A and B are shown apart, each in its own frame.
Chain A
Amino acid sequence: MQDLANIFIKSIFIDNMVFAYFLGMCSYLAISKTVKTSVGMGFAVIFVLSITVPLNYLLVNFVLDKGALVWLHDDFHDVDLSFLSFIMFIAVIASMVQLVEMLVEKFSPALYSSLGIFLPLIAVNCAILGGSLFMQERAYNNITEAIVFGLGSGIGWFLAIVGIAAIREKIRYSHVPPALRGLGITFIITGLMGIAFMSFMGIKL
């Protein structure tokens, strides 16, 4: 239990997708103009991450890893398919995103129209693929840990985008040097937020 809580806290604050690894920056910069759309995008990312990470975990452990195919037949004990992992991960992610898009379109047309083009872009959101790749690299022990990691990373990304959107809404009323307006100042604020998040470093339950 303590291990799980540790992974959860770590993936939200310390290994934050945005501030520590710069993942998902494209949609992070593009959609963070208003809080409302960024909340929608944040939830979409949490949802997709907490589904695709465990799915890809199963894929790694039962298909791709060296010897993972033993459950099929003993002859497969030295088959190593891990060079296929990029293409398999991206296939799982792209199909999941398609599914989420259809669900959102059906149940929340308002959210669908406000997310617009960015929902399909979740498929190429680096945070999603990054989540799966980190899961593979860190070799979590069981699927519960993978679920917790996916959920935590999603929440971390959500916090980051909602935070920057709130700041950007307010900064419209301040006097920013013309050349820094828009993109430049967003980068610098994200850097400052990253420094703030670094104060969580070393927290361990």
Chain B
Amino acid sequence: MSKEPLFSKKNKSLLTDPLDDNNPVTVQVLGICSALAITVQLKPAIVMALSVLFVLSVANVVVSLLRSLIPSRIRIIVQLVVIATLVILVDEVLKAFVYDVSKELSVFVGLIITNCIIMGRLEAFALANSPWKSFLDGLGNAFGYGWILIAVAFFRELLGSGTLFGYPVLENLGIYDLGYENNGMMILPPMALVTVGVIIWVQRMRNNKLIESN
């Protein structure tokens, strides 16, 4: 087998495809579970995206290294153990350094274990590819997940409470004086779903090949 350059065209597309054409959230429909509940504000959303980035890329590499050793019958348990170990690490680190955010994320850090993105990528990619490719795939998918999370959180925080990272943007712009009111609805859980729905809508209008038949 001839050696491939580290950033060959194929490897680059592993990194960029999940951003749009093969986005884990809006196209593969993975990882919505823990994604939506923590998007009321930007800060927890970014912490969540970074945690998933770490867990996904490391788990992908570990499983890819072990892939010839894992008997296929018990692979789910092995994968869960790898993921759970990484998530416990992330949880302890968050508790130690950003306690308030960790409190806010509550059970959702633990739910990274069952985040379907991670299981899905391990099953679909890491079990069949080399560690470096799996690492790129993990990074790409985590970025694809992260940007959706951050986009949703951006709109929800801006329209719902008029702040970004807790900084009162709209108040400083003087928009309230013109009679603008915050839309309290955006903070409530159902609007996260609608926001994602609208993102999917916009994405598919731009990208016709993603449209479903019915």
In the complex the two chains form, is A137's CB within 8 Å of B29's CB? no
A-B pair count, CB < 8 Å, reads: 145
Q: State in angstroms the CA–CA spacing of A198 and B110 once bound together.
A: 26
> In the complex, how many residues of chain B place their beta carbon closer than 8 angstroms to a beta carbon of chain A?
48
A178 contacts chain B at the CB level, 8 A cutoff: yes
B46 smallest CB distance to A (angstroms): 18
Q: State in angstroms the CA–CA spacing of A120 and B35 once bound together.
A: 22
Residues of A within 8 A of B32 (CB): 22, 25-26, 29
In the complex the two chains form, is B193's CB within 8 Å of A190's CB? yes
Chain A proximity mask over B16-41: 1 for CB below 8 Å, otherwise 0: 00000000001001111111110000
In the complex the two chains form, is A23's CB within 8 Å of B111's CB? yes
Tell me the chain A residues, 20-74 only, with Cβ under 8 Å from chain B: 20-26, 29-30
In the complex the two chains form, is A29's CB within 8 Å of B29's CB? yes
In the complex the two chains form, is A187's CB within 8 Å of B107's CB? no
> Main secondary structure on chain A at its contact with chain B?
helix
Residues of B within 8 A of A86 (CB): 84, 87-88, 91, 110, 113
Q: In the complex, which of the residues A19, A30, A126, A191 contacts B114, with contact meaning CB atoms closer than 8 Å?
A: A126
B contact residues vs A (CB 8 Å cutoff):
26, 29-37, 76-77, 80-81, 84-85, 87-88, 91-92, 106-107, 110-111, 113-116, 119, 188-194, 196-198, 200-202, 204-205, 211-214
A contact residues vs B (CB 8 Å cutoff):
19-26, 29-30, 83-87, 89-91, 94, 120-121, 123-130, 133-134, 137, 172, 177-188, 190-195, 198
> Which 6 pairs show the lowest CB-CB distances between chains A and B?
A194-B190, A182-B212, A187-B197, A126-B33, A191-B193, A133-B107
